[in-house]
Amino acid sequence: MKLMNPDYRGRTVPDLFTCSDGTPVTSKEVWEKKRRPEILEMFRNQEYGCLPDMSDAKTMIRLADSRCDGTFMGGQAIRRTVEIETERKGIHFSFTFVLFIPASAKKASPCFLMIGNRGIANADPARHFMSSFWPAEMIVSRGYATAVVLTQDLAPDYDEGFTTRFHKLFPEYTGEQRPGNAWGAISAWSWGCSRIMDYLETDPLIDARHVCVVGHSRGGKTALWTLAQDQRFFMAASSCAGNSGDALARGSTGETIAQITGRFPYWFCKNYRQYAHNENSMPFDQHMLLALAAPRLLYTTSRTFDNWANQKGQFDSAVLASEVYERIYGLTGLESKTMPKPETPLHKGMIGYHMKTGEHNLDEYNWNLILDFADMHGMQG
Dist CA 209 CA 90 (whole Å) = 34
* Catalytic residue chosen out of the listed positions 20, 94, 194, 360: 360
- Applying CB under 6 A, among 242, 251, 333, 352 the residue interacting with ligand GCU is 242
Smaller CB distance to ligand GCU: residue 185 or 369?
185
For position 366 contacting ligand GCU by CB under 6 A, the verdict is no
Residues 358/303, Cβ–Cβ less than 8 Å: yes
Residues 188/202, Cβ–Cβ less than 8 Å: no
* Catalytic residue chosen out of the listed positions 187, 190, 217, 238: 217
Smaller CB distance to ligand GCU: residue 287 or 377?
287
For position 190 contacting ligand GCU by CB under 6 A, the verdict is no
Whether the ω angle into residue 295 lies within 30 degrees of 0, i.e. cis, is yes
Whether 167 is catalytic is: no
For position 226 contacting ligand GCU by CB under 6 A, the verdict is no
List C-alpha distances in Å: 108 to 180, 204, 379, 381: 43, 7, 12, 10
Q: Binding string, 246-285, against ligand GCU, x = CB under 6 A?
A: ---------x----x-------------------------
For position 303 contacting ligand GCU by CB under 6 A, the verdict is no
Cβ at position 74, least distance to ligand GCU in Å: 32
- Applying CB under 6 A, among 36, 79, 142, 218 the residue interacting with ligand GCU is 218
- Applying CB under 6 A, among 217, 226, 238, 301 the residue interacting with ligand GCU is 217
Whether 217 is catalytic is: yes
Count of C-beta atoms within a 10 Å radius of residue 69: 8
Smaller CB distance to ligand GCU: residue 153 or 375?
153
Cβ at position 267, least distance to ligand GCU in Å: 8
Smaller CB distance to ligand GCU: residue 146 or 361?
361
For position 139 contacting ligand GCU by CB under 6 A, the verdict is no
Residues 223/148, Cβ–Cβ less than 8 Å: no
Smaller CB distance to ligand GCU: residue 224 or 260?
260
For position 109 contacting ligand GCU by CB under 6 A, the verdict is no
Count of C-beta atoms within a 10 Å radius of residue 380: 16
Which candidate, 168, 164, 154, places its Cα nearest to that of 91?
A: 168
Give the residues lining the site for ligand GCU (CB under 6 A): 217-218, 242-243, 255, 260, 308
Catalytically active residues, by annotation: 217, 360
